[in-house]
Amino acid sequence: MPGSNTAGLLLALLTALFWGALPLALKHLLSTVDAISIVCLRFWIAAAWTWGLSCRHPGNSTPLGRREKWLLLLAIAGLGCNFVFFNSSVAYLSASACQILAQAGPVLLLLGSVFLLREPFLPIQGGSVIILLVGLLLFFNTRLLGLVSGDLLIGMSLGGMAAVVWACYGLAQKILLRTVSPGRIMRAIYLCCAIILTPLSSPASFLQLDALQTGCLLFTCINTIVAYGAFSRAMSNWHAAKVSAVVTTTPLFTLGLEWAGHLLLPQIFPMERLGLLSICGAFIVVMGAMGIALGPMLHLPHGRKERHHGGS
């Protein structure tokens, strides 16, 4: 239905907007608070929200089997480490660079699905992987020589590890979703990650934040709830491949917000100087990620494609 299409598109755009703004907020926090403390608070807020919702709408609580428990542990470790690595990488890279590097995650998830879950590897997806990798090289073209040492190497290593562990989380969740509801999975992940990270966090450092940093901290906490909530609702209103394709525009939102912030408050939002090749690289990365997301749907015959759209 048209209403479902519109709702799905708007919710997917809201997800991309919030994820795009996240590293900009983190930039202002990491000079005062460490990444683990920020992530720990974000997980506690998300856990409180999802468990509160589950009390209002209780679902199936069938005990998990041994295999499901191991997969859930992998998902917990994957998403928890992803949050920590990504948040840490923002201290060493620009916000836009972090988001561009994060697009390696879908490539790794695709390859993992092919080799471990025996999913088909379509020609359009293979071409899209190459396009995405070319885009990454173009975006980082002026910084490749700086990889031998310094903050750039640390930041890209953390960003790369964030992509790897996100793919592990994605693979574990893919298998779990066959038998476990997404709400139950996320409740367990949020709560377990919050409990594990609490002894490693430094809550006292939050007292040192100024007004702007406090606002950024509140935004990062709300971001987790709004972005993942909008993403989940978008998936229920619209075709999954279309939602994924829209969400791949996240780096473009980061670039746009970075530019707008610098235009309005240059002293607060420093702008990374990007050459024409880097800007082209960012768009090419997004096109490659879109191809990976939309590949399975575009490959379907026309008749099957219409049925696959569900409510659209």
Q: Rounded mean pLDDT of 51-69?
A: 80
Number of domains in the chain: 1
Confidence check: pLDDT of 93 > 80: yes
pTM of structure: 0.86
- Return d(Cα 239, Cα 58) in angstroms, integer: 26
Check whether 3 has a pLDDT greater than 60. Answer: no
Query: How confident is the model at residue 309, as a pLDDT?
Result: 36
pLDDT digits (tens, 9 = 90+) for 217-263: 999 999 989 988 888 788 777 877 788 888 889 999 998 998 888 88
Q: How confident is the model at residue 312 (pLDDT cuts 50, 70, 90)?
A: very low
Q: From CA 122, how far away is CA 282, in angstroms rounded?
A: 24
Answer whether residue 307 shows pLDDT above 60.
no
DSSP letter (8 states) at residue 80: H
> Residue 208 has what pLDDT?
94
When the pLDDT of each residue in the chain is averaged and rounded to a whole number, the result is 85
Structure tokens at 66: 């041994």
What is the predicted pLDDT for the residue at 183? Answer: 85
Please state, in angstroms and rounded to a whole number, the distance separating the CA atoms of residues 12 and 194.
Answer: 27
Look up the domain containing 95 and give its range: 2-308
The whole-number pLDDT of residue 308 equals 36
Give which of 91, 79, 84 is closest to 23, Cα–Cα. 91
Burial-class residue 48 by CB neighbours within 10 Å (0-12, 13-18, 19+).
middle
Give the position of tokens 């073209």. Answer: 141
Q: What pLDDT is stored for residue 306 in this prediction?
A: 38
In the predicted structure, residue 91 carries a pLDDT above the cut 50:
yes
Residue 160: strand, helix, or coil: helix
pLDDT classification of 59: cutoffs 50, 70, 90: low
150, amino acid identity:
G
What is d(CA 243, CA 246) in angstroms, rounded to the nearest whole number?
Answer: 5
